[in-house]
Chain A
Amino acid sequence: MNRLEVAIRLARGGFDLDVSFSLAERRTIAIVGPNGAGKSSLVGALAGFVEVHEGRILVGDRVLTDIAAGIDLPMDKRRVGVVFQDHLLFPHLTVLQNVAFGPRAVGREDATAHAAAWLDRLGIASLAAQRPRQLSGGQAQRVALARTLAAEPSVLVLDEPFASLDVEVRDEVRAEVALHLGSFTGHTILVSHDIDDVAAFADEVLVIESGRVSQRGTLADIQATPATAYIRRLLSGRGEN
């Protein structure tokens, strides 16, 4: 069984993050917490663009980070894919070129065909020739998901993927993404502070406050015995936005 094992500590501008968790394949963990709790530092540490000062990140027996052993793979070798809140689609490339970017970067000859297949699978083949600025928020988020999945990551991080969408399309996109994640065989990490996202995706929930894990469990566990005032607010739908 390929588990994702994370046990890291890092300090960043007067703030420190000390978090451990592990996750089985095909499972989704939701990372929730107030702004400034350390969610984005954790995403950065997983993907390799924020420096970790202590600890390890393993995917099965593949070591992404092991500070004691002097290992910290660069972003492009980690196979941690990120769907960013503001999608960060390359503005100078078409949708198809955006999705083909990952496969091309690793030298796949069939990158374009591979990308086209992903667009097809996500039902957005008709957008192939468009530029990112021509897309609606929901379309851009679908393209961003296709682009990340086309790079075939072993860990998929969805960083507040629906926060920038209008309420009307949010449910629709969320349902679609949930559908496509069903066939994803890696580990999924959903960063959010929206309880609806958590309910739609997560097998378990990790609550981070001030750089520490304040509670971990299934959504039902957490609903039964919320450990902190923040979690109670989150559950009542009045979490920070």
Chain B
Amino acid sequence: MPPALWIPAGIALGLLVLPLLGLIIRAPWAQLPELLSRPTVLQALGLSVGTAGLTAVLSLLLGVPLAFVLASSVDWPAVPRRLMRALVTVPLVLPPVVGGVALLLLLGRRGLIGQPLDDWFGITIPFTTAAVVIAQTFVAMPFLVLSVEGALRASDRRFEIAAGTLGASRFTTFRRVTLPLIAPGIGAGALLCFTRALGEFGATITFAGSFPGVTQTLPIATYLELQRDPDAAIALSLVLIVVSIVVLVSLRDRWTAGLSS
């Protein structure tokens, strides 16, 4: 490696680390307990943790089966196989605000599905807590799907054959062999999904708005507080940083635990 690379590498590292450092230095540590115990902050925190948790649960219920289908698509013809993979990956690269607009067009009052839902059942989804969970799932579920699919592809499918020859039905094999073997991947995927949902902003504010206590999650509250009360915004940011670090550390432990057991 030429020594000259140290210069851009150092700038890159600075770009990644200095903003966080600045935030920590400027944080109003003395007022922190007061700031974090404000009803608006607690409300946003509770809403965020609750909706991100629901997003993780919904993603587990729907995303794990999708990961199985995706993993089995290696045997499909090239066109549907690539299409399938592209469809799952799109939300990862799509600007979240576009996802929010798309969700509005589908589930909004005049949307493809939203209009019949409203006309026939009187159900409106946009600007509700359910909309927050849907927007977060749209953005965050692919992380879980790809994580579980990776674990599936890395696991030795011959364990399933061994289980079958021992008399285990396909369901028993799935429950007692396949799932436990990919459990670390599922756990890591669910955590990634939770974290991504916790930080979701663009799709949520577009599709769900920012009603305090209903759809105003932590990132949205942080953004709004920045104009009204910068110290509160910094406090909220610190909360999000702490959650991210906790998840990062526990992810590492999960991975090593999964590999060594």
Q: How many residues of A contact B (CB 8 A)?
A: 25
Please classify the interface of chain B as helix (H, G, I), strand (E, B), loop, or mixed, using the class held by over half of its residues: helix
Q: Are B177 and A80 in contact (CB under 8 A)?
A: no
Can you list, as one digit per residue, whether each of B122-163 has a CB less than 8 Å from chain A (1) or not (0)?
000000000000000000000000000000000010110111
Residues 36-48 of A, flagged 1 when their CB comes within 8 A of B and 0 if not, give 0000000000011
Residues of A within 8 A of B180 (CB): 92
| Stretch from B25-33, B38-46, B78-86, B167-175 contacting the other chain | B167-175
Q: Do residues B163 and A101 form an inter-chain contact, with CB atoms below 8 A?
A: yes
Tell whether B224 is near chain A: CB-to-CB under 8 Å: no
Interface residues of A in 135-190 (CB under 8 A from B): 147-148, 151, 153
B176, CB-defined interface residue at 8 Å:
yes
Interface size class of B (residues with CB under 8 A): 20 to 34
**Distance to closest chain A CB from B242 (angstroms):** 32
Q: A147: shortest Cβ distance to chain B, in Å?
A: 7
The answer to whether B166 and A101 touch across the interface, beta carbons within 8 angstroms, is yes
Given A74-B164, A75-B164, A82-B162, decide whether A90 and B169 contact each other with a Cβ distance below 8 A: no
- Contact check, B165 vs A80: say whether CB atoms are below 8 A apart: yes
Given A92-B180, A92-B261, A101-B176: A84 and B167 within 8 A (CB)?
Answer: no
B159–A90 touching, CB < 8 Å: yes
Give the distance to chain B from A83, nearest Cβ to Cβ, in Å. 10
The reply to whether A76 and B158 contact each other, CB–CB distance below 8 Å, is no
Contact bitstring B18-62, A, C-beta under 8 A = 1, else 0: 000000000000000000000000000000000000000000000
Chain A interface (Cβ < 8 Å from any Cβ of B): 47-49, 74-76, 78-82, 84, 88, 90-92, 101-102, 105-106, 131, 147-148, 151, 153
